[in-house]
Amino acid sequence: MLSESDNDLLTRTGSETPMGQLFRRFWLPAMLSSELPKPDGPPVAPRLLGERLVAFRATSGHVGILEARCPHRHANLFWGRNEEEGIRCVYHGWKFAADGRCVDQPGEPENSRFKDSVRAKAYDTHEAGGLIWIYMGPEELKPEFPSFEWTLLPDDHFLATKRFQACNYLQNLEGEIDTAHVNFLHRNLGSEEDEFVPKEILPPRFDEAGLLPPPFLARKQFDLAETDFGLVAMARSEFPDGEYYWRMTPFLVPSFTLIPSGYDAFNTWTAIVPVDDTYSVGFTVTWHHARPLNEAERLTVTSGAGVHALVDPETFIPIANMSNNYLIDRELQATSSFTGIYGIRGEDLPVQEDQDGPIARRHEEHLGVTDRGIIGMRRLLLTLVKDLQRGIEPPHASRPKAYRARSVVVTAPKDVSPVDLFVAGQPETFVASSISQSY
Ligand code: FES
Ligand SMILES: [Fe+2]
């Protein structure tokens, strides 16, 4: 449970709000690179943190993102023409470069210097890993771009997708770190033996041996560790032979998570960014650190069966959404699927978008032991927000190499420390100065 005022503090993200300021201290994904496929092509109109923006790929290939309203008389630059290193407002023809400079005012006298005093608000952008990133904070605090692992890999090693989600960003973020729900929401109905065991997370030693999977304990234990990028939620189940099965989900400040998928498998990163306080945009990237994604992995991404949503390719709105009851199939729900809804992300949407509606009333909830990851994450974000209100900058923004982290799925004897297991599962180039089991 969270006080009403703390809930407000975490869920309001406009430019004047403390959480809005915290978001603006980090590089955030703004859109897919593929939305701006070619120089001088049509602009797009992203909306982020309550701000209306226009994005365009200039002649040089560089992406500019400007405040959408034209400085002249506030027509939306989205209707503009993307031409020769700048976007030209169609109302009176003023033209702006990617850095916001006004470079042409065709109606003004020829020798006028007026344009030199006009500037569109422009944001820094960076393109990496299939995404266009934006930094919306104070220029003097702009952090180095975090070295997320897939952004350093060849293009065929990763796939990135985008979806809109009709709720506050925190509902999605909490769902990502909420390992306990995997055993229920994403469960397939099966025999007694594999009850509560989603098939995709079975350890291969049981598959290879041709054995039936063991009945995991549905009641997991949860640990939490604090580290340079944020937190790691560590959930463990116990095998009958006494070993522990660990699923470790990193939460990277401010709103990124690494969802474990399986043994020696690809990694998945998810980000949620507020569009405004009741609508969000989610990005999910799947990658393999050592090889191109194979056909099966690509299919998991494109079919919508996994954590990548099936969306309308023009609007990025999920095909199954609130307006069509998420295409729930009650017959399927009675026979083979816990929810009757298609896809893992598809199952997440109704429960996240419909928690009191778009902004959950957290002061009325009842949290149990399985919610430790969520409690820890809220506590960390509240600390960072309140620190920032007192002028203390979030230290995570200046630790780019810690953001190279991976999720970890591993089986180990009981006496092996989960912190050691997490560190052993990281890339060699991962740098974190501290990690401690904290809760
Ligand atoms: S409103 Fe844009 S040029 Fe006049
Ligand atoms: Fe989920």
Q: Is 73 in the pocket of ligand 1 (CB under 6 A)?
A: yes
Ligand nearest to the CA of 75: 1
In a domain, 6, yes or no: no
Ligand nearest to the CA of 92: 1
In a domain, 19, yes or no: no
State whether 374 and 431 are in the same domain.
yes
Instruction: Give the model's pLDDT for residue 260.
Output: 82
In a domain, 31, yes or no: yes
Q: In angstroms, how far is the first alpha carbon of the chain from the final one?
A: 17
- Strands 81-82 vs 230-238: parallel, antiparallel or unpaired: unpaired
At 231, which amino acid appears? Answer: L
Calculate the average pLDDT of the chain.
90
State whether 239 and 341 are in the same domain.
yes
Instruction: Give the model's pLDDT for residue 437.
Output: 66
- Mean per-residue pLDDT, 339-364: 95
Output the CA 89–ligand 1 centroid distance in Å: 6
State whether 68 and 103 are in the same domain.
yes
Q: Is 384 in the pocket of ligand 1 (CB under 6 A)?
A: no
In a domain, 364, yes or no: yes
Instruction: Give the model's pLDDT for residue 264.
Output: 59
Domains identified in the chain, total number? 2
> What is the distance, to the nearest Å, from the Cα of residue 381 to the centroid of all Cα atoms in its chain?
15
Locate tokens 């095998």: which residue?
239
How sure is the predictor about 211, in pLDDT bands with cuts at 50, 70 and 90?
very low
State whether 49 and 68 are in the same domain.
yes
- Judge residue 4's burial from the number of C-beta atoms within 10 Å of its C-beta, 0-12 exposed, 13-18 middle, 19 or more buried: exposed
Residue 216 has pLDDT above 70, yes or no: no
Closest CA to 341 of 322, 355, 313: 322
Output the CA 119–ligand 1 centroid distance in Å: 12
Instruction: Give the model's pLDDT for residue 203.
Output: 44
- Provide the CATH number for the domain around residue 262: 3.90.380.10
Q: pLDDT for 227-270, tens place per residue?
A: 999 999 998 887 767 788 888 999 999 999 998 876 556 799 99
Residue nearest to atom 1 of ligand 1 (CA): 73
Ligand nearest to the CA of 77: 1
Residue 124 has pLDDT above 70, yes or no: yes
Q: Do residues 377 and 179 touch, judged by C-beta distance below 8 A?
A: no
Is the pTM above the cut of 0.95?
no
Residue 14 has pLDDT above 70, yes or no: yes
- Judge residue 225's burial from the number of C-beta atoms within 10 Å of its C-beta, 0-12 exposed, 13-18 middle, 19 or more buried: buried
Output the CA 251–ligand 2 centroid distance in Å: 15
Locate tokens 């969520």: which residue?
374
State whether 419 and 348 are in the same domain.
yes
Q: Is 89 in the pocket of ligand 1 (CB under 6 A)?
A: yes
Q: Where are the beta strands (DSSP E) in 33-148?
A: 47-48, 51-57, 63-67, 81-82, 87-88, 95-96, 102-104, 122-128, 131-135
**Domain boundary residue, one of 141, 165, 195:** 141
**Domain boundary residue, one of 79, 110, 141:** 141
Q: How is residue 208 written in tokens? A: 């290879």
Q: Do residues 433 and 423 touch, judged by C-beta distance below 8 A?
A: no
Quickly count helices (H) and strands (E) in the chain. Answer: 9, 19
Residue 215 has pLDDT above 60, yes or no: no
Range(s) of the domain holding residue 177: 149-437
State whether 120 and 197 are in the same domain.
no
Taking the C-alpha atoms of residue 120 and residue 70, their distance in angstroms, rounded to an integer, is: 7
Q: Is 70 in the pocket of ligand 1 (CB under 6 A)?
A: yes
State whether 342 and 414 are in the same domain.
yes
Residue nearest to atom 4 of ligand 1 (CA): 92
- Mean per-residue pLDDT, 289-302: 90
Q: Is 115 in the pocket of ligand 1 (CB under 6 A)?
A: no
Q: Do residues 195 and 388 touch, judged by C-beta distance below 8 A?
A: no
| Element of type H or E holding 159 | strand 158-165
In a domain, 154, yes or no: yes
State which ligand 1 atom lies nearest to the alpha carbon of 70: 2
Q: Do residues 437 and 417 touch, judged by C-beta distance below 8 A?
A: yes
State whether 75 and 154 are in the same domain.
no
Taking the C-alpha atoms of residue 415 and residue 427, their distance in angstroms, rounded to an integer, is: 23
How sure is the predictor about 114, in pLDDT bands with cuts at 50, 70 and 90?
very high
- Provide the CATH number for the domain around residue 84: 2.102.10.10
CA atoms within 13 A on the CB side of 395: 10
Percent helix, strand, coil in the chain, to 5, is: 30, 25, 45
**Angle between helix 169-177 and helix 372-389 axes, rounded to 10 deg:** 130
Q: Is 102 in the pocket of ligand 1 (CB under 6 A)?
A: no
Q: Is 72 in the pocket of ligand 1 (CB under 6 A)?
A: yes
- Preceding peptide of 213 cis, ω within 30°: no
Instruction: Give the model's pLDDT for residue 165.
Output: 98
Q: Residue 170 has what DSSP assignment?
A: H
- Of 89, 102, 108, the residue with max ligand 1 atoms within 8 A of its CB, to mutate for a pocket test, comes to 89
Instruction: Give the model's pLDDT for residue 243.
Output: 82
**Domain boundary residue, one of 141, 174, 196:** 141
State whether 111 and 239 are in the same domain.
no
In a domain, 7, yes or no: no
In a domain, 3, yes or no: no
**Distant-in-sequence, close-in-space partners of 420: CB < 8 Å, separation ≥ 6:** none
State whether 110 and 203 are in the same domain.
no
Ligand nearest to the CA of 79: 1
State whether 178 and 299 are in the same domain.
yes
Ligand nearest to the CA of 73: 1
Q: Is 197 in the pocket of ligand 1 (CB under 6 A)?
A: no
In a domain, 168, yes or no: yes
State which ligand 1 atom lies nearest to the alpha carbon of 80: 2
- Judge residue 373's burial from the number of C-beta atoms within 10 Å of its C-beta, 0-12 exposed, 13-18 middle, 19 or more buried: buried
Q: Is 94 in the pocket of ligand 1 (CB under 6 A)?
A: yes
- Mean per-residue pLDDT, 54-79: 98
Output the CA 356–ligand 1 centroid distance in Å: 42
Residue nearest to atom 3 of ligand 1 (CA): 92
Q: Do residues 228 and 250 touch, judged by C-beta distance below 8 A?
A: no
Output the CA 203–ligand 2 centroid distance in Å: 19
State which ligand 1 atom lies nearest to the alpha carbon of 93: 3
Instruction: Give the model's pLDDT for residue 242.
Output: 76
Where is average pLDDT lowest: 114-123, 179-188, 321-330?
179-188
Q: Is 92 in the pocket of ligand 1 (CB under 6 A)?
A: yes
Q: Do residues 130 and 26 touch, judged by C-beta distance below 8 A?
A: no
Taking the C-alpha atoms of residue 250 and residue 269, their distance in angstroms, rounded to an integer, is: 10
- Of 69, 87, 92, the residue with max ligand 1 atoms within 8 A of its CB, to mutate for a pocket test, comes to 92
Q: pLDDT for 134-193, tens place per residue?
A: 999 999 999 999 999 999 999 999 999 999 999 999 999 999 998 888 878 887 776 443
State whether 113 and 161 are in the same domain.
no
